[in-house]
A and B are shown apart, each in its own frame.
Chain A
Amino acid sequence: MSTMEMPAGAPEEVVTHALRRDLDLAPFGVPGKLAIITLDNGLDYTRPNTFGAQGLSELGKVLDEAKADSGVVGVAITGKPYILAAGADLSAVSFVTETAQASAISKLGHDIFRKLGELGKPTFTFINGLALGGGLEVALHSDYRTIARSATIGLPEVFLGLVPGWGGSQLLPRLIGPEKAVQVIILNALNNNKMLSAPEAYESGIADALLAPADFLEKSVEFAAEVISGRKKITRTDHTKDVAPWDAAIAVGKAAAAKKYIGADIAAPRRALELIALSRTASRGEGFDAEDRALTDLIMTNELRASIYSFNLIQKMGKKVQGAPKSSLARKVTKVGVVGAGLMASQLALLFVRRMKVPVIMTDIDQERVDKGVAYVHAEIAKLVSKGRLSEPAANRLTGLVTGAVDKSIYATCDFVIEAVFEEMSVKQKLFTELEEIITPECILATNTSSLSVEGMSKHLKHPERVVGFHFFNPVGLMPLLEVARTPHTTDEATATAIAVGKELKKTMVITKDAPAFVVNRLLTRFWGEVTDAADEGTPFEIADTAISPLGLPMTPFTLFGLVGPAVALHVSETLHDTLGPRFTVSENMKSIVAAGVRTFYIKNDAGKIVPNPEAFALMKQGSSPSTADQVRVRALTAIAEEARMMLDEEVVATPQEIDLCMMMGAGWPLHTGGILPYLDESGISEAATGRRFHPKGVASLP
């Protein structure tokens, strides 16, 4: 058996113990004992069991003892309440400096887990609760599995930049077939790390019995006794004979990865698919060795280190907003006003009512618009019912909470009013002044502006201290980020109240200074400016648009322009050009495209394929200084590095971590870039552009 020492600097392992208790199976009509091994790290369900070096060794020892004990006729693994195990303890991985250490981590997992498949006695895992990654792999190594109806399982490795490399990539495809294995290992992981419910796990063949949680262990022991006695036979399908389904499944996986990262070659899904393909013909030893190699390689990449950094960042900052005032300062919000009844305002109203379940009042300049906005929200609620995501009574409750009027005096009893009117300073100033005559002095005034000065909007107010920026990302119901902007006047009470509201909306929040375009739009606009400049200068459109694709971003810049609308993008670039300076360029081609009313750069052709929109290209005038893709990429990333450094110097946000979080949660940039700054550090762009890194080496990269 391989042994492993924790890398230097790694936090002390929270050991998941393997507690063995033997149960006499005589009352179940089986001579002999069932060794029940409980995985338990001694903490409650908020700190799930994980597998580190010590815990694995302990499990190995217990399995060896159970094997040697002639009275033991079967071995079953289960977890502490609600949790089987949430996978490998990744906290040590970030401290691995050498390939040999990475290799040892990979091997140790295999050495221990494979005992379950080679014990010479029937082995079981009773999946009593959450089983992720290595937690599910323990179960896959066992001969049989029961699952509690309330359990959730998944293999999130590819989502994190790894592969299910403690046996998962080899055992799962052979157990449930390539198609379903690709679904679990690749498609689910790439789809925001989707999990499987227990019934899904049972139907897919991962579990052999689906049992009620109320007497899960009792019934699992009965199941084990039936199997051990031979009274129950579980038959397995051999999926390895026909290669065609394997090829088809691998192709589906590849297509999904290509779509997710718009063609970028991302190692984790590629390696996982290779391993799945291999599992059809490889022996256990060969397959596990290949997993070891893949894990070792991936652990020694910057992408994985950045992914772990990103994952931890999202977990931590999703729970606690950095720099937030004490939550006890927050005032209760029992009624919300949304000014405007257009699409954005209506989406905001829908979000507020769904999450907060308080009265939401919409207004607009005439009754027709008001009615349209309210009707939109009501219709969206009805859609949720027809999709089965909301019950009729719950929908009735929400529908009754959303009302509208032309007269703004109905905002008098609101605790929180947010505006989503036309993006023009004078319009917003006038609105806020008008609202101040109606609302109480404590009522929060929030603005969903994307690039205007929040302080500017509150200039003429008697109570500017209750104004906050509350900037959502499209689509507001789906994108997790909310930028909360404070002006120099904004009080802690107002900020705390805004944060409390954001929490109820289930948003990940970052507190920013009241600076133009806050974080995400400022970086994106600067980046877009370089791409459109390159195109304007003469770089072929496709080259400019795909120059940054190797990063694996969710979409190209021009696709995104189409989504937000060229007019909006142009407006933001003009605003930032005026407020932040000429480094924010305004594209002449964009101007003519907006002037002509062209709204998208790509269209679906008659064959249903996405192709460049000829209407847009007819309007584009290009210069005679083309750049290569590499040049465009370096130029665009350099701009991001410069701008990010300026934002930190200006204290728009306090830390580089907040910038990274913003890019992941607001722009959907992938975990393996670390948001963006770790990528800029490792590609040398940070130092070239700003003379220094954003993160010390090792924080989000290889040491």
Chain B
Amino acid sequence: MSKQPQDVYLVDAVRTPFGKAGSLYSETRADDLVVRAIRGLLDRNPHLPHERIDEVAIAAATQTGDQGLTIGRTAALLAGLPLTVPGYAIDRMCAGALTAVTTAASAIGFGAIDIAIAGGVEHMGRHPMGEGADPNPRFLAENIVQQDALIMGATAENLHDRLPHLTKARANAFAVGSQDKTAKAYANNQIQPDLIPVAVRHAELGWTLAMVDEPPRPGTTIEALDALKTPFRANGRVSAGNAAGLNDGATAALLASGAVADELGLTKKARLVTFAFAGVEPEVMGYGPVPATEKALKKAGLAISDIGLFEVNEAFAIQVLAFLDYFGIADDDERVNQFGGAIAVGHPLASSGVRLIANLARGFENDHSVRYGITTMCIGLGMGATVIWENPAWEGKK
């Protein structure tokens, strides 16, 4: 008889510090980054016997070179996991890590497995976005997508066109908020505990350890952002200041069934309630989180008002604003990205999903009055992803 459906919990989530492409990790391999994240995750959970890990699902958007070779399996081997632990590679562009989590969690929920590591890596310095891509000419010949659907910045400009009340000024204000919230989170030691130090070498400088994110620009002002060029369009609204940069980094999360988490004495940081992916027009891919969240809420039987914390990936400020606008949430709502977001810390594509989860878990830990939270992202080629989580520490209705 097959197993019964079971609850899925987030046990832990960690990440490497994020770097600017071509800088912090320019002499570090992508696979070494994700191996380091996995080993750091295991170090933090000493009660977990490594042979009990059933699966290692690792995402990368560009699966060649040091991100190729079925990176979930190679990372497991390089991390020193027992040879009996299998692994696989996964890709859903920016939502790679989030998809690794939902896929591995689905196997747990189904009862096929009990413990999984799910994460992602993107070394955009070594693998520029779209490296080696060969889009089918039919996309354009048959008007399946618009010309600029594959240029993410252009899709963000398109979103501004659709929602003209979401102005450049609002986008820049949101971006400054992201930098400020990140700086404050660093000052309050809300980010550092989940960072796994990484040895980095520079041929002319020698070895050191990467301990913190490289991209944040604390003290960024509206004036400074207003002065930036809009590279995707003349007189555009999207700039390097109100979008995430090109980054390198890796993440890893530990998932377990409730029963096995209890058996092994593993922490339960969040319970996975449900998740949904949805498609939208590729040329406004930033709108994806809206239908994905609607779908997930419906499945969970929840309303947006039930959600106490939001982790929305900040690929572009406009895409977060579109989400908040749709659900009637203020641009500076305190429940949203309370520790800042990708505009400040960076967005190494397929790794970012687990960063959102780590932040949400920290939010749950800090505030036991919160019951539900969501992690949501937009995805290239017109998709959105939303995962709804429940806080195990929720104290109940007061």
* Contact status B206-A214, CB under 8 Å: no
Please tell me if B205 contacts chain A, counting CB pairs below 8 Å: yes
Interface residue ranges of A305-330 to B (CB < 8 Å):
none
Answer yes or no: A449 CB below 8 A from chain B CBs: no
The answer to whether A466 has its CB under 8 Å from any CB of chain B is no
A78–B209 Cα distance when bound, in Å, is 13
* A214 CA to B201 CA, complexed, in Å: 14
Once the chains are docked, how many angstroms separate the CA of A17 from the CA of B99?
A: 46
Interface stretch, picked from A19-27, A373-381, A685-693, is A19-27
Residues in A neighbouring B209, C-beta threshold 8 A: 23, 217-218, 221
Contacts of B206 in A (CB 8 A): 19-21, 36-38, 40
In whole angstroms, what is the CA distance A27 to B189 when docked? 10
CB distance from A126 to the nearest CB of B (A): 9
Q: Which residues of A contact B197 (CB under 8 A)?
A: 27, 218, 221
Tell me whether B203 and A214 are in contact (CB under 8 A).
no
Q: Is B80 an interface residue (CB 8 A)?
A: yes
B207 x A217 contact (CB < 8 A)? yes
Partner of A38 from B36, B192, B207 at Cβ < 8 Å = B207
Instruction: Please tell me if B240 contacts chain A, counting CB pairs below 8 Å.
Output: no
Per the bound structure, the CA–CA distance linking A24 and B78 in Å amounts to 28
**Shortest distance from the beta carbon of B264 to any chain A beta carbon, whole Å:** 23
For window 203-224 of B, CB contacts with A under 8 Å fall at 203-209, 211
Is B205 a contact partner of A214 (Cβ separation < 8 A)?
no
Complex: A214 Cα to B43 Cα, angstroms: 13
B35 close to chain A: CB less than 8 A: yes
A212 near B211 with CB under 8 A, answer no
Binary contact readout B264-299 vs A (1 if CB under 8 angstroms, 0 otherwise): 000000000000000000000000000000000000
B198 touches A (CB below 8 Å): yes
**Known pairs A27-B192, A27-B197, A81-B201; A218 contacts B36 (CB<8 A):** yes
CB < 8 Å neighbour of B36 from A20, A40, A215: A215
Contact yes or no, B203 A42, CB < 8 A: yes
Closest to A217 in B: B199
Q: Quick check: A212 and B199 within 8 Å, CB to CB?
A: no
Does any Cβ of A come within 8 Å of B79's Cβ? yes
The complex places the Cα of A37 from the Cα of B209 at a distance, in Å, of 13
**How long is the Cα–Cα vector from A275 to B201 in the complex, in angstroms?**
39
Residues of B within 8 Å of A20, CB to CB, are: 206
Complex Cα distance, B205 from A214, in Å, reads 21
Q: Is A216 an interface residue (CB 8 A)?
A: yes
Give every chain B residue within 8 A of A221 (Cβ-Cβ).
197, 209
Note all chain A residues with C-beta closer than 8 A to B201: 38, 80-81
In the assembled complex, how far is the CB of residue B171 from the closest CB belonging to chain A, in whole angstroms? 34
| Smallest Cβ-Cβ distance to B197: which chain A residue | A218
Instruction: Given A23-B209, A27-B192, A221-B209, verify A214-B204 contact (CB < 8 Å).
Output: no
Tell me the smallest distance from the CB of A156 to a CB of chain B, in Å: 26
User: Are A216's CB and B199's CB within 8 A?
Assistant: yes
Q: Name the interface residues of B31-76: CB closer than 8 Å to any CB of A.
A: 35-36, 39-40
Bound Cα distance A21, B202 (Å):
10
Knowing A27-B197, A217-B199, A218-B198, say if A36 contacts B36 (CB, 8 Å).
no
CB neighbours (8 Å) of B192 from chain A are: 27
| Measured CA separation A643–B197 after assembly (Å) | 66
Q: Which of B80, B203, B209 has the most CB of A within 10 A?
A: B209
Supposing A214-B78, A215-B39 touch, asked if A27 and B207 sit within 8 A by C-beta, the answer is no
Do A21 and B36 touch across chains, with their CB atoms under 8 A apart?
Answer: no
Which residues of B sit under 8 angstroms from A78, Cβ to Cβ?
Answer: 207
Q: Which of B40, B198, B203, B207 meets A36, CB within 8 Å?
A: B207
Instruction: Give chain B nearest CB distance to A439 CB in angstroms.
Output: 43
Chain B: interface residue count, which band?
20 to 34
Known contacts: A21-B208, A212-B80. The answer to whether A40 contacts B203 by CB under 8 A is yes
For B27, the closest partner residue in chain A by CB is A81
Q: For residue A24, which residue of chain B has the nearest CB?
A: B211
B35, B40, B205: residue with the most chain A Cβ atoms closer than 10 Å: B205
Give chain B interface residues in 181-206, CB to chain A under 8 Å: 192, 197-199, 201, 203-206
Q: A27-B197, A221-B197 are in contact. Are A214 and B39 (CB under 8 A)?
A: yes
Chain B residues, CB < 8 A from A214: 35-36, 39, 78-80
| Residues of chain A contacted by B203 (CB below 8 angstroms) | 40, 42
Which residues of A8-24 have CB atoms within 8 Å of chain B's CB atoms? 19-21, 23-24
Interface hits, B70-107 → A, CB 8 Å: 78-80
B78: which A residues are within 8 A, CB to CB?
214
Bound CA–CA A28/B205 (angstroms): 22
Known contacts: A214-B35, A218-B197. The answer to whether A27 contacts B211 by CB under 8 A is yes
Q: Which B residues are in CB contact (< 8 Å) with A23?
A: 208-209, 211
* Chain B, range 287-317, C-beta contacts under 8 Å to A: none
Tell me the smallest distance from the CB of A47 to a CB of chain B, in Å. Answer: 14
Q: Is the CB of A19 within 8 A of B199?
A: no
Bound together, the chains give a CA A113 to CA B175 distance in angstroms of 52
Chain B 1-55 residues near chain A, CB threshold 8 A? 35-36, 39-40
- Encode A18-59 as 1/0 by CB contact (under 8 A) with B: 011101100100000000111010100000000000000000
- Chain A residues near B208 (CB, 8 Å)? 21, 23, 36
Q: Within the assembled complex, what's the spacing in Å between the Cα atoms of A42 and B203?
A: 7
Which of B35, B40, B205 contacts A19 (CB under 8 A)?
A: B205
Interface of chain A residues 78 through 128 with chain B (CB within 8 A): 78, 80-81
Q: Which residues of chain B have C-beta atoms less than 8 A from A212's C-beta? A: 39, 80
Minimal Cβ-Cβ distance residue in A for B200 = A217
CB-CB under 8 A from A19, the residues of chain B are 204-206
CB distance from B250 to the nearest CB of A (A): 13
Give the distance in Å from the alpha carbon of A40 to the alpha carbon of B40 in the complex.
Answer: 28
Contacts of B205 in A (CB 8 A): 19, 21, 38
Closest to A149 in B: B80
Nearest-CB residue, chain B, relative to A126 = B207
Bound Cα distance from A466 to B203, whole angstroms: 50
Assembly CA distance A80 to B199 (angstroms): 12
- Min Cβ gap A24→B in Å is 7
The residue of chain B having its C-beta at the shortest distance from the C-beta of A220 within the complex is B199
Closest chain B residue to A26 by CB distance?
B211
Please report the C-alpha to C-alpha distance between residue A27 and residue B199 in the assembled complex, in whole angstroms.
15
Among B35, B78, B203, which residue has the most Cβ atoms of chain A within 10 A? B203
Write the nearest CB–CB distance from A391 to chain B, whole angstroms: 15
Contacts of B80 in A (CB 8 A): 212, 214
Chain A, residues 183-225, CB within 8 Å of chain B (1/0): the string is 0000000000000000000000000000010111110010000
* Cα–Cα, bound, A78→B205 (Å): 13
CB-defined contacts of A81 to chain B, threshold 8 Å = 201
Q: Which residues of B contact A42 (CB under 8 A)?
A: 203
Shortest distance from the beta carbon of B45 to any chain A beta carbon, whole Å: 16
CA distance A38 to B199 in the complex (A): 12
The contact sample of 17 A-B pairs, CB cut-off 8 A, is: A19-B204, A19-B206, A21-B206, A21-B207, A37-B206, A38-B201, A78-B207, A212-B39, A212-B80, A214-B36, A214-B39, A217-B199, A217-B207, A218-B36, A218-B197, A221-B197, A221-B209
> Which of B's residues lie within 8 Å of A, judged by CB?
35-36, 39-40, 78-80, 192, 197-199, 201, 203-209, 211
Q: Other CB < 8 Å A-B pairs besides A36-B208, A80-B201, 14 of them?
A: A19-B204, A19-B205, A21-B206, A21-B208, A23-B208, A23-B209, A24-B211, A36-B206, A36-B207, A37-B206, A38-B206, A38-B207, A40-B206, A214-B79
Query: 9 closest A-B pairs (Cβ-Cβ)?
Result: A38-B206, A19-B206, A217-B199, A21-B208, A38-B207, A21-B206, A218-B197, A23-B208, A215-B39
